[in-house]
Structure 1
Amino acid sequence: MAGIVNYVKESFGELKNNVSWPSWAEAQSLTVLVAVFSILFSLAIWGVDTVFSKVVSYYFQLIN
């Protein structure tokens, strides 16, 4: 148990002293950027899924 407590203490020390955190404005702009790309990527996947679904449906209609 002492090992876990020591690990957590050292982790917080690393985060506090050695990590260079972005400014609030930069963090907000990067969050918006990630959200926009996530939406675009999900729309692209939805489009490909829809096309493949139509192709598979058409294929199964041909073989019946």
Structure 2
Amino acid sequence: MSKVKTYFQESYEELVHKTSWPTWSELQKSAVLVAVASIIIALIIFAMDKVISTALEGFYNLF
């Protein structure tokens, strides 16, 4: 049981004293960056899906 208690104490010490947390403005910039990147990736996947779908429909209509 003492190992578990020691683990939690050391984890707390590391989170409070050794971890560097981002500032509010850094956090906002990171969130915006993730949102923009997600939208761009979603648009790329959407475009790829439309191109492949159109190509396959054209291929299937040949037969």
Which TM-score band (shorter chain)?
0.7 to 0.9
Q: Distance in 1 between matches of 2:49 and 2:13?
A: 46
What is the CA distance between 1:18 and its match in structure 2? 1.9
- TM-score for both structures, normalised by structure 2: 0.77
Q: How many residues align?
A: 61
What corresponds to 2:24 in structure 1?
24
| Root mean square deviation, CA, Å | 1.8
Partner residue in 2 for 1:33: 33
Q: Identity percentage over the alignment?
A: 39
In 2, the alpha carbon distance for the partners of 1:57 and 1:6 equals 63
Amino acid at match of 1:30: S
- CA drift of 1:17 comes to 2.2
For normalisation by structure 1, the TM-score amounts to: 0.76
Aligned 1:1-64 pairs, distance under 5 A: 2=1, 7=7, 9=8, 10-62=10-62, 64=63
Gaps of 5+ in 2: none
Amino acid at match of 2:25: A
Post-superposition, which runs of at least 4 consecutive aligned residues in structure 1 deviate over 3 A?
A: 2-7, 10-13
Aligned AA for 1:27? L
Unaligned segments of structure 1, at least 5 residues: none
